[in-house]
Structure 1
Amino acid sequence: MLTSMDSQCSGPDAARFRAVLGHFPSGITAITSRDAQDRPVGMTVASFTSVSLAPPLVAFLPGKTSSTFPVIAERGTFCVNILATDQERICRALSVSGGDKFADVTWRPGPNRDPVVDGVVAWIGCTIEAVHEAGDHYIVIGRVDDLDADTTASPLLFFRSRYNHLTSA
């Protein structure tokens, strides 16, 4: 049986929690969509995972303070762009608040017309199935509508608070 934990329970402070979990490498994704005026919107997210094969579901976890996520939620669709090692610039561009985040980002319309960033390792077009509150974040479940990958590209990774890439042994 699953139980809910009290959000006020004691535990490690935020800095220690972040430092320790920073020892788990993660890929960097650009979650993209369109606003009510059909302009591209996006945000970077490291907390992304597959959820289910049948039906095909994925999840990402935006912070509740995000100004971009409400726009994505209103539209109801998004595209997960798994960034490549040479796309740190795109990661930084989509991480800032305000301004035209897509000014120097080349992309094409993908499923649901959401932006697929040029040169990504893979993209996954989704429709929002559910949104759950989880502490200071949301858990967004997306039903996969379409996807594709570049089998020659390597992912941009985040590990110990720094960008990294895979190396061959």
Structure 2
Amino acid sequence: MSETDTLPDPRALRDAFGCFMTGVTVVTTIDETGHPVGFTANSFSSVSLDPPLLLVSIANASRSLPVFKGAKGFAVNILAEGQKQVSATFARPAEDRFSTIYWRKGPVGAPLIAGVSAWFDCTLHQAIEAGDHTILIGRIGGFEATQEPGLGYYRGAYVTPAATAAQLPTGPDVVISAILEAEGQVLLKGDGHGGLTLPMARVGREGVQTALSTLIASTGVQAAAGSIYAVYEDTAQACQHIAFRCPAVPGKAATGAFVDLTPEGVAEVSDPAARIMLNRLADEARMGNYGVYFGTNEQGMVTRANKGKDQ
């Protein structure tokens, strides 16, 4: 499929990005001799819907880096929950990682692994050196999402959607917030006391995902339910707080307005924990290296989760 062919539907792409942003992926390509090459990465990120772009990162020390930089393109294969062995195969050194894997060429030409939860086949749009990794930006030429649950990876262990859902707190003591991002801005609303706050909601019997969808809809902004950005115990409010990054389309909100994602723009956020979180997001957005915060509203740690793993 060439860049002049029909582009993937932006709405379907947005839904796919929202569902699979945190899954374990295998990034694949074809070398100059026609042989498949791949490595395991524990996340990828959407970059743009128009044109449709995504990114992954690969270690500069990887033996596969020259192949990926010189290839026509690459595919991102989001593994299904039953493909732990596939992840392990592509994460460790091997002469032929594809010898036990069934695969086919995608519409752009990169290897697509059978049985995955979803795949994106891309032409190489740009390769950017960033510290000890290189960012590969791909222009999506084809994609498919299936009903297979995805495989996750967190703190040295694999997780599945069922296990993750069981571990996420639910009930009246859980509060969620939606960080709706659009073109370097974030949506804030009045807190009723002269300050600003993120859109927030308390979770009831409906569960976290339904509560998040309802919260996004209440803002009147077109946005997708994104990835978890912070999980912390709010000792001041006696609740568990989960913050989600949600890519949004610029527009007028039902309540509140978009402000610049800068220290000055979020200075009037009344909750110190939320203000610190947004300042961190502003810094990470400039670097393009995002993490997930775990702890309390006073102290904790940030786990980086968007670098590729390659041996």
Same-fold call, TM cutoff 0.5: yes
The one of 17, 31, 55 equivalent to 1:59 is: 55
Rounded to whole Å, the distance in 1 between the matches of 2:149 and 2:66 is 30
- The structural deviation recorded for 1:76 is 2.5
1:137 aligns with 2:117: no
Question: Displaced runs of 4+ in structure 1, greater than 2 A?
Answer: none
Secondary structure of the 2:153 match is: strand
Structure whose CA Rg is larger: 2
- Equivalent position of 2:156 in the other structure: 161
Rounded to whole Å, the distance in 1 between the matches of 2:106 and 2:154 is 29
State the TM-score, normalized to the length of structure 2.
0.45
State the TM-score, normalized to the length of structure 1.
0.80
| Stretches of structure 2 lacking an aligned partner (at least 5 in a row) | 1-20, 167-311
Equivalent residue letter for 1:162: A
Rounded to whole Å, the distance in 1 between the matches of 2:128 and 2:31 is 22
- The structural deviation recorded for 1:132 is 1.3
Equivalent residue letter for 1:79: A
- Equivalent position of 1:14 in the other structure: none
Equivalent residue letter for 2:105: P
- Equivalent position of 1:80 in the other structure: 76
- Equivalent position of 2:105 in the other structure: 109
- The structural deviation recorded for 1:119 is 0.4
Higher relative contact order (CA closer than 8 Å, sequence separation 6+): 1
RMSD, aligned CA: 1.5
- Equivalent position of 2:124 in the other structure: 128
Report how many residues are paired: 144
Secondary structure of the 2:45 match is: strand
Note if contact 1:86-1:156 (Cα within 8 Å) is conserved in structure 2.
Answer: yes
Note if contact 2:109-2:121 (Cα within 8 Å) is conserved in structure 1.
Answer: no
- Equivalent position of 1:96 in the other structure: 92
- Equivalent position of 2:115 in the other structure: 119
- The structural deviation recorded for 1:108 is 1.1
Note if contact 2:28-2:38 (Cα within 8 Å) is conserved in structure 1.
Answer: yes
Q: Any residues of structure 2 matched to 1:7-86 within 5 Å, and which? A: 26-86=22-82
- The structural deviation recorded for 1:69 is 2.4
| Stretches of structure 1 lacking an aligned partner (at least 5 in a row) | 1-24
